[in-house]
Every structure is written in structure tokens, then in C-alpha cells.
A and B are shown apart, each in its own frame.
Chain A
Amino acid sequence: MSSPIRSLRDSGVIIWRQLIQLPRIPEVLIFALIQPVMFVLLFRYVFGGAIQTPGESYVNYLMPGIFAQTVAFGAVASGIGLAEDLRRGIIDRFRSLPMSRSAVLVGRTVSDLVRNAAVVAVMMGVGLLVGFRPSGSVGAIILAFALLFLTSFAFSWIGVVIALSLKTVEAVQSAGFIWLFPLTFASSAFVPTDSMPSWLQGFAVNQPFTVVVNAVRALFLAQPVGTLVWQALAWMIGITAVMIPLATRQYRRRTG
């Protein structure tokens, strides 16, 4: 069998493996949902009243940020899942089989994308319940979701690189979260960046997570998009393009 076809087929088998596991480890899915729901409740009802978002209700401002944060935090699950597989030795069995080398990592990131899509769908429902009213066109909203899924894919690869660079599952768990807090909070996801001190604004305005949030928000809320979508696409494609070879190299080193 030619190698690209073999690679697709093997990735398909791994994706199947990950997806049938999902309902059997309900705690993973429940945790993946509880966290963004908590953030919605916390920001919508606790902090929201104190945050000024000119021109939009706070819940409309918040939800695109929540969606983006949800897919970004999916990177942690990707990393932990891979670290667990490495620890339990199932990766060793995969490596003793005449299967495609890339299938393990591709299968992981693609199945995590499917999981994140399901979580984002639920979060959309939660958003509507708490008053989120997107005004963008259907096409714009579809584009917003596509951008979120690309972000999910890019961030999963970051999680994979972290998992392959550290030795224990516990380390992957901690390291997987640490960088996400400054990235998602020092951004436009929850508060407008112009309320931040100027030294922080330089980072907050220009960092990729803010770019994604601004693009997704503009699409959902029928705001002028400008080059935001292109910038976000460039960032996410760029991150994926850097992370895939890095992950592949780490995978070879880790398992070679």
C-alpha cells in the first residue's frame, strides 16, 4: 500500500480509537465542559457587570472569547492524553507494528479537534441560554467556527510538543496549563485590552490569541473584520507549520 494512503488509513484507525474512548471516560468530557461553563457563569454574572464593553453587551463580548479559550485549553487534554499513552506503553506497541509513523500524532490532534468541536457546540448552547445573541451572517458564523477549529488544531500540536518534551504525565499536566493562563487572560478574551497598563497592552494587543478572539468576535457580531481573519489564519497556520515538524522530531527522539 502506498504510504500516503496507508498514513490516512492508520490515522483513521487512531481517530476511531480515540473517539470510541470518549464516552467511556466521561470525566474527561465533563471536565472539558465544566471549566468553560464556570468561566461563562463567573464572567457573565460576577465580573461582567464591572467590565465596560462599549457598543456591545458584555455577554456578546464574552462568548467568542470563551469559545477561543475552550479550544486553546484543549491543548492540555491533547498533551495529557499523549503522555498517558507514552507512559502506559501503548505507543511502544504501535511502534512495533508496520504502521504509519505520523498516524499516532495526526490521529491524536484530529480526534481532539472533533472533541473540541463537540464542546464548542455545547458552549454555543450555553451561550444562547445566558443571553448571547450573535448578529453575524450564517456565512460569517460558519467562518468563525472554522477559525476556532483551526485554532484547536494548532493548539493541540503545541500540547503534543509539550507532552513529548517532558518525562512525566504530572509535568505535562502542570506545564500544559501554565502558559495558557497569561496567553488567554492577557488578551481581549474577557476584557478590552485598552483597560490594561500600557506595558501589557503591547503584548495583549498583538499576541496570536487576541488576534483569533478579535477575528472570531468580529465575525459573530457583524463588526468590521478588516484583515483580522487573515491575520488569525496566518498565525494559526504558522503555529501548526512550526509545531508539526517539531513534534515529529521530538517523537522520533523520544521513541528512537
Chain B
Amino acid sequence: MTDIAVRAEGVSKSFGKTLALRNIDLEVPRGIVFGLLGPNGSGKSTTVRILATLLQPDTGIATVDGIDVVKHPDKVRQRIGLAGQYAAVDEYLTGRENLVMFGRLSGMSKSDARARADELLHQFDLADAADRVSKGYSGGMRRRLDLASSLMARPPILFLDEPTTGLDPRSRLALWQTIQGLVTDGITVLLTTQYLEEADRLAQRIAVLDKGDVIAVGSPGELKARVGGESVEVAVVRPADLDTATRILAASASEAPRVDVERNRVIAAVADGAAAMARVSGAIAEAGIATEDLALRRPTLDEVFLSLTGHTAEDEDEEPAA
């Protein structure tokens, strides 16, 4: 066993004349959540489909647990789980029937599959709905069933393709906690997302994809530092406090604060986000300034893209269907 769970070297893929992936390299260390971040059409799903043996690369080598995905797809399939936008559950089967079916097709015996399904239904809070047809499930329940399906055979490596796209904020938060729990159990997770917040929250390492290229790799902190990082924003209740607030912010900021007199706001870039935030909020309280809002602003995916590529992360061309 190597300490690299998933590796791609010089992987390219075209659909007709559209180049979906251009010579990408990736290394996913074992036991972490690795985030593939990018807008629609950047090549995230193509990457996952190649790694999950659904698609063959035109060039390059991709390995999972050191096993070549093109030469030994069946061995790779014994080690992976796939969930997310491209891997559906059967909506005319119950939650339990879905799990048992996927377990049986992974080679589990009937009794093993039933026992494991029970376990997952409880773990994913689906026990009450277990014997209902999944067509009637809410979006959050369906994603949990989808995730549980991919975990039936206890794969050491899990691919999650946009696991929270289209979910409401509460379900998204719940799913994030579930995904974090998986890594605690020792599973390696490769997740694709369009949301910087999601990658930031879940991933220990992030690769940013743009038009089929890996344009940056690093920890969330490293990436944000490259993007220019965070800023602290203060909105005061009394306009008279604006000057004091500006002075306080200036003391912690990495550049001169910008003042918005009309909205009684001042904002400044900071180098050490959370620490700066703590200093500013302490000083504001000490000075007795009433605030309407005091917040640490993080860069959005748009800002990351603007800074890394010079263009924003508006949807690129639709990814061609395989």
C-alpha cells in the first residue's frame, strides 16, 4: 500500500473536438478529503469518471491504490465507491432494497448485504424511511441514500461528484458532517465541488480546475493566501464611531482600510484572518463601539478564479455527455 490513494499523470481526454482535460497531474494522499474545485465544464466530472473507470483517458496514467484504472478496472472497482450527480439510486426501489442490490452487485452475500444495509440505514438516519420507495424521498434523504449506496462494500476510496449541488443549506450542512465523519473512519475522499466554501470546509487539499487544466494545488490556507485572503468588515451603528473603527482596523490590516461613509462601513484586507478578527472585535468592544455587523469576509470562488485565471468562474461550456 502506498501513501498515495489516487494518482493521475498526464491525463488528457477529448470529446470530439472539445478538450475536456489537458495533461493533468493529481496526487491524492491517503486518509484525507481532497477537493477538486471548479465551475461547470472545468473537467471535474471527467476526472472523476476516469478515476472511477467509467471513462478511458486518451493519454496518461491514472491509478487507484496503485492499480491502473485502464488495465485492471475490476480491481479498481473493488476499492472505490461513487456517489453524486452521475450515480443514481433506483427510485422505484425502497432505500433498503437499493442498498441490498448494490451490496449484492459488489459481491456481498445476501446476509452480509442485509446486515450492512441495516447498519447504514441507521448511520444515515434513514431507518424510518428504509421500506419506502425512494422516489418519495426529499433531496437530502436521496443524497444520503446515494452516499450510503456507495459505502455498502466498505470501499477505502470514495468519489463524491458534487455531493451537495442542489441541496438546501440545512441538508448541505448535515451532509458535510457526514463526509467529515467518513474521513475519521479512515476513508480517502475525492470530492468535486463548485463551492469554495465547501472545499474550504471539508478538504485538506484542493486542486483548482479551469477549462481542463489544474491551475493551482494546495491547502485551503495556501490557496486563499494566493488569492489575497480575507478581510474584516465593520458596520457601526453611530456614524461618529466610524473614525475610531477605521483606526482599529488599520492596526490589524495588511493594507489601508476602505471607508464607506454612506453605509457606515469600513473594510480592510487582513493577513491572519481569524486572529485579526479576534483583535478587531476585542478592540471594538473595548472602545465601546456599537456595531451592526462585524464579519470576516472570505474570498468567493469568483474571486479565487479572478485572481488565478484573470476571468471569473461563470459557467464554462457545458461538459459534453460521455
Residues of B contacting A38 with CB < 8 Å?
Answer: none
**Chain A contact residues: helix, strand, loop or mixed:** helix
B54 close to A255 (CB less than 8 A): yes
- The yes or no answer to A112 lying at the interface (CB within 8 A) is no
- B308 interfacial contact with A, CB 8 Å: no
Q: Are A95 and B105 in contact (CB under 8 A)?
A: no
Q: Please give, as numbers and ranges, the residues of chain A lying within 8 Å of B105 by CB-CB distance.
A: 10, 13, 94, 97, 99, 103
Are A20's CB and B93's CB within 8 A? Answer: yes
- In the complex, whether A256 has a CB less than 8 A from a CB of chain B is yes
- A2-44 residues with Cβ-Cβ distance < 8 A to B are 6, 9-10, 13, 16-17, 20-21, 24-25
Q: How far is the CB of A107 from chain B (nearest CB, A)?
A: 10
Cβ < 8 Å to B, chain A residues 84-105: 88-90, 92-99, 103
Q: Does A1 contact B (CB under 8 A)?
A: yes
**Neighbour of B88 across the interface among A10, A13, A89, A95, CB < 8 A:** A89
Residue of A nearest to B133 (CB): A24
In the complex, the chain A residue whose C-beta lies closest to that of B78 is A98
Q: Among B53, B91, B97, B321, point to the contact of A96 (Cβ < 8 A).
A: B53
A17 touching B53, Cβ below 8 Å: no
* Complex Cα–Cα for A10 and B74 (A): 15
Contact across chains for A98 and B93 when beta carbons are under 8 A apart: no
Produce 1/0 per residue, B76-106, CB < 8 A to A: 0110111001111111110001000110111
Q: Which of A69-94 contact B (CB under 8 A)?
A: 88-90, 92-94
Number of interface residues of B (CB under 8 A): 33
Which residues on B sit within 8 Å (CB–CB) of A13? 101, 104-105
Residues of B within 8 Å of A24, CB to CB, are: 92, 133
- Residue B93 contacts which of A10, A21, A89, A95 (CB distance < 8 angstroms)? A21
Q: Would A92 and B56 count as touching, CB distance under 8 A?
A: no
Query: With a CB–CB cut-off of 8 A, which chain A residues contact B63?
Result: none
Give chain A residues whose Cβ lies under 8 Å from the Cβ of B107: 1, 6, 98-99
Whole-angstrom CA separation of A162 from B88 in the bound complex: 23
Structural contact, B106 and A98, CB atoms closer than 8 A? yes
* Residue in B82, B97, B133 whose beta carbon sits within 8 Å of that of A93 in the complex: B82
Cβ-defined contact, A96 with B54, below 8 A: yes
CA distance A94 to B88 in the complex (A): 9
Can you list 9 A-B contacts with CB-CB less than 8 angstroms, sorted by A residue number? A21-B93, A90-B87, A93-B88, A93-B150, A96-B80, A97-B106, A98-B106, A99-B105, A99-B106
Contacts from A to B (Cβ < 8 Å): 1, 6, 9-10, 13, 16-17, 20-21, 24-25, 88-90, 92-99, 103, 167, 255-256
The 6 closest A-B pairs by CB, nearest first: A89-B88, A96-B82, A98-B77, A93-B87, A99-B105, A21-B92
